[in-house]
Amino acid sequence: MTAPAPLAQAVVFALAVATGEEAVFRGLLTPRRADTHSDRARTAAALAAFVGWHVLQGTVWPPTRRWFWRADFLTATALLGMACTALRQRSGSIWPGVALHAAAIVIWRTGLGGPSFSQLRGRS
């Protein structure tokens, strides 16, 4: 049996990561709407936690530091988080955010210099 093509691997990986992260950061931590001050504070805290999660990954998984501790990556992560939050609050569902998040990962990994699987494992 041959290994899946890199694009197919990237798509499967992206869907898994995006589904897990969106379920936690937009599904559990973000309120469906941000109508009150408390809702807006929870939304901001969820966004900060999403960005912080990526910093933490670089802390506990050293091979990812090369990417996950970069200011441009963290800025893009915050912007992605804001877009996924807006999709969650407009639609009431995490799935539009999952699609956007997965697409962003695929584009980053296949066209914008994101890491390969071997680089993520520290075998580059």
Q: In this predicted model, what pLDDT tens digit does every residue of 71-100 receive, in sequence order?
A: 999 999 999 999 999 999 999 999 999 999
Residue 93 resides in a domain: yes
Residue 1 resides in a domain: no
- Give Cβ neighbours of residue 42 (< 8 Å, ≥ 6 apart): 29, 30, 31
- Domain of residue 16 covers 6-120
Average pLDDT over the chain reads 86
Domain count of the fold of the chain: 1
pTM of the full structure:
0.84
Average pLDDT over residues 104-109: 86
Residue 61 pLDDT greater than 60, yes or no: yes
Residue 47 resides in a domain: yes
Q: Which residue has the tokens 């009431």?
A: 92
Residue 54 pLDDT greater than 70, yes or no: yes
Amino acid 4: pLDDT: 57
